[in-house]
Structure 1
Amino acid sequence: MFSKLKDFFGGYAPTGPIEYMVVGLGNPGKQYENTKHNVGFMALDILAGKMQANVTRLKFQSLCGDGMIGDKRVLLMKPSTFMNKSGEAVRSAMQFYKVPMENVLVLFDDISLEPGKLRIRRKGSDGGHNGIKNIIYLTGKDTFPRVKIGVGGKPYPDYDLADWVLAPFTSDARKQVDAALANIPEIVSLIVSGKTDQAMNRFNK
């Protein structure tokens, strides 16, 4: 499959209008780089590597890059607004490129899933995730596809949630997460190509 993916993610200069956005959620700054809450950034970096896209341009309060997935030009974004204000970056880019909500794919962490588990959804509520909550609040819509990446729940009920998601993974959990993240390019390519059902059937386990 990876040989096919290499062909699908064309290593050539992107052309045409931006038709799709893929947004990885996280917090800027080295202190957050390997934390559970930054798994959306990790996922986007893996996708960018496969697309040979440099996500280094400062625009829309984000680090941005773009490339081709099939015949679609795709904007890659890592908002630098901090998680709670992710919607500001997403809304700005959507308005500028006139991208419909249904063409905004968001990658983010989910504490309700075990480390390395994936859940693909066409739409839905925020599920208590502050980044998703802000995107829904500022755009007024929850009709965007998303890939939830499991990071595992708190070890006990009284454990502070912020401390949990802003802490790094254990070595075992990180191995499970890394294995799941390796599937992100294939998942994104399927969704952007209009094959969300196929992606869900293959990766929602």
Structure 2
Amino acid sequence: MRLIVGLGNPGKLYDKTRHNIGFEVIDRLSESLKIPLDQAKLKGIYGMGFVNGEKLILLKPLTYMNLSGESIRAVMDYYDIALEDLLVIYDDLDLPVGKIRLRQKGSAGGHNGMKSTIAHLGSQEFNRIRVGIDRPPAGMSVVDYVLDRFREDEQEIMDDVIKKCAEACEAWLQKPFIQVMNEYNQ
């Protein structure tokens, strides 16, 4: 069984914000894989389906970003999912808008959702897709920036990035993550 998690904040207020790019990728996967997000428990909303004969869970934690690890841990424990069968998608200030970076391990890099995830999993060694949102302009706080929506010119780029991230996730369901990294980290 595999688990793909998109990090974000629940509620209309946070819809389409920079910090919710993980949720947008999960929505895209839900649509393309025809796995409805129809279960609300374990501190998240998720859906289950089969892809290539293997069970897959798509999860959007509803704990708010800073507590994302609570939901991820609960789902992994409940369904007995191994660390190597987890993929987490989240926004990254250290990458330019439109850039994605796949990694098999790493630190939280200051991202509170990843700090929570790492703390609850007790490990930094799990698959992830970092989605670039760039740094805030001078004079704007990081909090205001990540909770802001993309500019119109950026949104076009992000629509392509969401599609590319979903494709990378789907590729992982067919081949080893290291191979997917080599294909999508170019």
TM-score band, normalised by the shorter chain? Answer: over 0.9
Q: Secondary structure at the match of 1:183?
A: helix
1:138 is the counterpart of 2:120: yes
| Corresponding position of 1:10 | none
- Taking structure 1 as reference, are residues 194 and 103 closer, same or farther at Cα in structure 2, changes over 3 Å only? same
Looking at structure 2, the residues matched to 53 and 145 of structure 1 have their Cα atoms a distance apart, in angstroms, of: 21
Is the CA contact 1:48–1:76 (under 8 Å) kept in the aligned structure 2?
A: yes
| Corresponding position of 2:168 | 187
**Number of residue-to-residue matches in the alignment:** 186
> 1:113 Cα shift?
1.1
| Corresponding position of 2:81 | 99
Please identify the structure whose Cα radius of gyration is greater. Answer: 1
1:167 is the counterpart of 2:148: yes
Which 4+ runs in 1 deviate beyond 6 A? Answer: none
- What amino acid sits opposite 1:187 in the alignment? A
1:52 is the counterpart of 2:9: no
| Corresponding position of 1:83 | 65
Question: Aligned-pair RMSD on alpha carbons?
Answer: 1.2
Identity within the alignment, %: 36
Give unpaired runs (5+ residues) of structure 2.
Answer: none
TM-score (norm 2): 0.96
- What amino acid sits opposite 1:83 in the alignment? M
Query: Deviation per CA, 1:88-147, whole angstroms, max 9, x where unpaired?
Result: 000101111111111110011111111111100011111111101101111111111001
Looking at structure 1, the residues matched to 86 and 65 of structure 2 have their Cα atoms a distance apart, in angstroms, of: 17
> 1:46 Cα shift?
0.4
| Corresponding position of 2:106 | 124
| Corresponding position of 2:21 | 39
Is the CA contact 1:116–1:178 (under 8 Å) kept in the aligned structure 2?
A: no
TM-score (norm 1): 0.87
> 1:177 Cα shift?
0.9
Looking at structure 1, the residues matched to 61 and 126 of structure 2 have their Cα atoms a distance apart, in angstroms, of: 17
> 1:160 Cα shift?
0.8
